[in-house]
Amino acid sequence: MKKRWLLHITFWIAYLINDTALEYAWVRTSVDKISELKALWLSLWTDLSLLPPKLLLSYFLIYVVIDRGILKNRYIGGLIAITIPVVLIAVIMHRLIVYYYITPVIYQEAWGEQRLFELRRMLSAFLDLGFAASLAVAMKLLRMYWMGREREKGLVKEKLEAELKFLRNQTNPHFLFNTLNNIYALARKKSEHTPDVVLKLSKLLRFMLYESRKERIALADEIRMIEDYLELEKIRYNERLTIEFTKQVDNPTQDIAPLLLLPFIENAFKHGASETRFDSFIRIEVRLEKGMLDFYIENTKEDTGETAVTENIGLSNVRRQLELMYNEHTLQVENRKDRFSVILTINLSSDATI
């Protein structure tokens, strides 16, 4: 409310300054033997005297015609019917102020034979009122336009944030499901590694419950979480799986969206190592240099003769998350006969504006 009052006051002050300057230019050329200071004072006092009918017409158009009429789809004939009398009242007020106050009191002159409601004078009053009211209405419509734009942006932002939250919530249960499968497999074998796996899983769950709710986390935390996940998988696959994980990071504190890289690694295990009957490998590389992240992962797979890329839920979710979070990124997925690889490049400084 305070901001709205300030906007209104600022508008009318600006209008008065402009109108006073125009009146001053007329006074200096039309009134003889008058100082500049007196001419300025007469001009200002004249404009202040004519302000009431201008305020009446302007705020009637803003709050009655626009706010309570047009915006609420009221009958146009009814709006015209109530607008015409208000315009006439404002014009009459304008003429009365000029005839009985401005001319005889401010300028100390007599009208002579000029009539109060002379057509030419009435038209001049109408144009003066119309100019002020038009400016006020234009500012109102401009403000409504910008508020509508901001409201629309807010709704789009809320929609995208909800979509991003939905995608992350899909990723988390997917990760948990895969890890519980690992524990189940170890429990069936009565493996001595089962307690260690449960402990590591608790650490990962703690990460998912707390850290993954943040908008951004440090890249070092994301890498630490990946390493814990890899340790879980190493216990499950033993010697038949070779995992290579190399890191070259110039800034471990660089921000990154949480759980962004994990689905690619999950995919390598689910569709690579778990479906391969013989020895297999997974090669992972993470490089960060001056905010540019290069992520590469490659895994062996059974030669099925198919090379078409069919994206599962995890990969599709990550692709959409990338679109929502980073303006500058590339994602390449290659499916060869016995290899599956993903190459991801992100400018981590190119946050998308949601």
Range of the domain at 262: 191-347
Looking at residue 19, what is its pLDDT? 86
Q: Are residues 136 and 16 in the same domain?
A: yes
Q: Are residues 147 and 225 in the same domain?
A: no
What tokens does 242 get? 């070779």
Q: Are residues 238 and 145 in the same domain?
A: no
Q: Are residues 236 and 321 in the same domain?
A: yes
Domain boundary among 152, 180, 204: 152
Q: Residue 117: which of 94, 150, 151, 147 has the closest Cα?
A: 94
SS3 assignment, position 288: strand
Q: Are residues 204 and 330 in the same domain?
A: yes
- Alpha-carbon span 280 to 19, nearest angstrom: 83
Q: Are residues 204 and 134 in the same domain?
A: no
Q: Are residues 23 and 123 in the same domain?
A: yes
Instruction: List phi, psi (to 5°) of 333.
Output: -120, 125
Q: Are residues 242 and 136 in the same domain?
A: no
CATH number for the domain spanning 339: value is: 3.30.565.10
180 assigned to some structural domain = no
Give the per-residue SS3 of 304-354: CCCCCCCCCHHHHHHHHHHHHHECCEEEEEEECCCEEEEEEEEECCCECCC
Write the pLDDT tens digit of every residue in 6-47. 888 888 898 888 888 888 887 777 766 777 788 888 888 888
CB-CB contact of 193 with 175 (8 Å) = no
Digit-by-digit pLDDT tens for the chain (354 residues) are: 677 788 888 888 988 888 888 888 877 777 667 777 888 888 888 889 999 999 999 989 888 888 877 766 666 777 778 888 899 999 999 999 988 888 888 877 655 556 788 888 889 889 999 899 899 889 888 888 888 777 766 656 555 555 556 555 555 565 666 667 767 776 777 777 677 777 777 777 777 667 667 778 899 988 988 888 888 777 767 677 888 999 999 999 999 888 888 888 888 887 766 666 667 888 999 999 999 999 999 988 776 666 555 565 567 778 888 888 888 889 998 888 778 889 999 998 877 655
Cα angle, residue 251 at apex, residues 234 and 350 outer, rounded to 5°: 100
181 assigned to some structural domain = no
| Mean pLDDT score of the chain | 79
157 assigned to some structural domain = no
Domain boundary among 100, 129, 152: 152
Domain boundary among 152, 176, 210: 152
| Number of domains into which the chain is organized | 2
